[in-house]
Amino acid sequence: MRLFGKTLTAAAVLVMSTSLVMAEDVEVLHWWTSGGEAAALNVLKDDLATKSIGWVDMPVAGGGGEAAMTALRARVTAGDPPTAVQMLGFDILDWAGEGALGDLTSVAAAEGWDTVVPTALQAFSKADGKWIAAPVNVHSTNWVWINKAALDAAGGKAPETWEELVAVLDAMKANGITPLGHGGQAWQDATVFDGVVLGIGTDFYKAAFIDLDPAALGGEQMAEAFNRLIKLRSYVDDNFSGRDWNLASAMVINGEAGMQMMGDWAKGEFLKAGKVPGTDFVCIRFPGTQGAVTFNSDQFAMFNVEGEGAVAAQAAMASAIMNPTFQSAFNVVKGSVPARTDVPNDAFDDCGKKGMADLAEANGSGKLFGSMAHGHAAPAAVKNAVYDVVTAAFNGEYADGAAAAAALAEAVAAAQ
């Protein structure tokens, strides 16, 4: 209590309203159904239970929430939305545009969310100045996970530039392993491409993916980015198509592959296999992107619910999500970093601490960008258009980078 002066008032507001309606339920639509994720979510559920708020579970897994979003559309159209929905990036703003979301501003003001949540994140948690969603975590996507033994055999120095990266990959190839562990699914291809584009330059990333500037999308730098992506394809084994990302992680863990370019959720796989950051594996930013971060953030979007009790339960849930203790507990389990910058990093491992420091640095220097691959740079239609071209390029359907860049500019224009 001593820590959170402002929380007192918020708590008072909540106690007042929740005491009127005991045993109210929140219905939560989400796709966190694997063991670790569910354990993390259970922290939230138990917390709400102490406030006499019941948890009605509506899990819909698959495809990064695609099936869940279909279910949600049916629920909203039927006039029966869930209380809270796990959601990513532009989907939140799109739903806000449809007028389907509730208003958390009073809780947010009482607890001072504005000052602790990174600005780039607030862009997705607020619409028209109103808080509409409670961010749970920040994942950053421009990570590379390297098998330490394979790296030592390939020279031992973690690559810091594109040229060094190519050198390491070549050395790994010469050592007889698959240099790059990768799964051929559109979002994984796009995740790698995020790093490649950011590596060309932070201003370029912003111009191409955030501002969607046609000149940047179809220009020479983009052609170079695609050439690099096509180059990376040559370090992937032939059996990559359709492979799940965690199987690609497993390849790196057991030394079959040298490295994987994947978001911070990959860390969980390494930890579960009993590997230690620094000794068994190394986590670095995508070469050439240190200091900048591409992120995606899981948030719980709060829908319009009817009845005073339901609204109060919803507010209590939002407050519980933003609680620093929960943020720490959840993100330690999930592998991501807290969505507020004032959470102590004691509970996190080395990679987690680095992630939190990088996030704070990028937030301060204006180099914190939404990830295109994960729907935080542009709306779904554009994102999927980018997927189409990136995946096609990765599968060798364009003659060269310039052709791919031209196709990208065209596809993005058509999707807008």
Partner 1 sequence: MATEADFRTRLQDWLPKLVLAPSFAVTLLFVYGFILFTIVLSFTGSKMLPKFTWVGFENYEKLFALPAWNTAIVNIAIFATLYIVICTVIGLMLAIFLDQKIRGEGMLRPIYLYPMALSFIVTGTAWKWFLDPGIGLERIMHQWGWESFSFTWIKDGEMALYTIVIAAVWQTSGFVMAMFLAGLRGIDNETLKAAQIDGASNWQLYRRIVIPLLRPAFLSAFVILSHLAIKSYDLVIALTGGGPGRATEMPATFMYSYTFTRNQMGIGASSAVIMLMTIAAIMVPYLYAELKEKK
Partner 2 sequence: MAAVTQDTAVSTGRITRTFIYLVLVLFALFYLLPLYVMGVNSLKPLNEITGGNMMALPSQWTLEPWRSAWSTAQIGVEPTGLKPYFLNSILMVVPAVAISTIIGALNGYVLTKWRFRGDTWVFGLMLFSCFIPFQIVLIPMAVVLGKLGLAGTVPGLILVHVVYGIGFTTLYFRNYYASFPTELVRAAMIDGAGFFRIFWRILLPVSGPIAVVSVIWQFTNIWNDFLFGVSFGGTSQPMTVALNNLVQSSTGVKEYNVHFAGAILAALPTLLVYIVAGRYFVRGLMAGSVKG
Residues that bind partner 2 (CB under 8 A): 27, 31-38, 41-42, 45, 55-64, 67, 70-71, 73-75, 77-80, 244, 246-247, 265, 268-269, 272
Interacting partner of 341 out of partner 2, partner 1, none (Cβ under 5 to 8 A depending on kind): none
C-alpha–C-alpha distance, residues 31 and 129, integer Å: 28
402 binds partner 1 (CB under 8 A): no
CB 343 within 8 A of CB 328: yes
| H or E element in which residue 187 lies | helix 186-200
Q: Is 34 in the site for partner 1 (CB under 8 A)?
A: no
Residue 286 in contact with residue 198, Cβ under 8 Å? yes
Name the binder of 324 from partner 1, partner 2, none, CB < 5-8 A by kind: none
Cα separation values, 83 from 39, 57, 241, 341, Å: 20, 11, 37, 26
Site string for partner 1, 369-398 (x = CB under 8 A): ----------xxx--x---x--xx-xx-x-
Considering the rule CB under 8 A, would residue 239 count as an interface residue with partner 1?
A: yes
Which parts of 306-351 are beta strand (E)?
A: 337-338
One character per residue 89-108, x = contact with partner 1 (rule: CB under 8 A): -----xx-xx----------
Residue closer to partner 2, measured from CB, 59 or 201: 59
Query: Could you tell which of partner 2, partner 1, none binds residue 267, using a CB distance below 5 to 8 A set by kind?
Result: none
Distance CA(305)–CA(303), nearest Å, equals 6
Q: What are phi and psi of 160, to 5 degrees?
A: -115, -10
Helix (H) / strand (E) element for 70: namely helix 66-77
Q: Considering the complex, what minimum distance in angstroms separates the CB of residue 354 from partner 2?
A: 20
User: Could you tell me the two tokens for 344?
Assistant: 């102590």
HSE-CB for 112 with a 13 A CA cutoff: 12
Query: Minimum distance from CB of 11 to partner 2 (Å)?
Result: 25
Distance CA(135)–CA(153), nearest Å, equals 41
Is there binding between residue 272 and partner 1 (CB under 8 A)? Answer: no
Tokens 């500037």 sit on residue: 213
Provide, rounded to whole angstroms, the least separation between the CB of residue 38 and partner 2.
5
Residue 41 interacts with, from partner 1, partner 2, none (CB under 5-8 Å by kind): partner 2
* Footprint of partner 1 (CB under 8 A): 63, 66, 69-70, 73, 76-77, 94-95, 97-98, 184-186, 238-243, 379-381, 384, 388, 391-392, 394-395, 397, 414-415
